[in-house]
Amino acid sequence: MSDTNESRLAGLNLQLPPTPKPAGLYRPAMIVGNIVYISGHAPLRPDGSRVTGCIGADLDLESGKLAARHSGLAIIATLRNEFGSLDRIKRVVKLLGLVNCTTTFQQHPAVINGCSELFVQVFGPENGVGARSAAGANSLPGNIAVEIEAIFEIV
């Protein structure tokens, strides 16, 4: 009945990846007061594999955008593991999206939209859109295609 994050997620029939494991000595999520800081997340597929490659060379824009969506799904998997329910999430505050790409690539915002469009679907058109920066990286851990970190407000 109610239009909650969990009900929207259920309605989307998405397949979440396994709970992301840290790639080093850090926590996937860190809570301070009403804020949760989410570590940089790789594009994790439901089978646990990661989308790798350089956008503009190995991958095209659409593949990059799908990778950003996979990073968003991985962030959702981390949030559900951390809080039990996505209904603890009040809103997206800020995203930083780093794109593994060539020096001539220019469509970083369109890539990271893959994550932002997912967050609108899950958190709603008002609470799913926050501040954002998108930039190129000459390399990312394990050659992942995108890495997205996030700040959410929680209740």
Residues of the shown chain interacting with a second copy in the complex, contacts defined by CB under 8 A: 22-30, 32-35, 37-40, 54, 93-96, 98-99, 101-110, 112-113, 116-117, 120, 129-143, 147, 149, 151, 153
Least distance in angstroms from the C-beta of 128 to a second copy: 9
Decide whether 2 or 78 has the Cβ nearer to a second copy.
78
Least distance in angstroms from the C-beta of 1 to a second copy: 28
Decide whether 28 or 43 has the Cβ nearer to a second copy.
28
Q: 54: left (phi > 0), else alpha (psi -120 to 50), else beta? A: beta
Decide whether 2 or 103 has the Cβ nearer to a second copy.
103
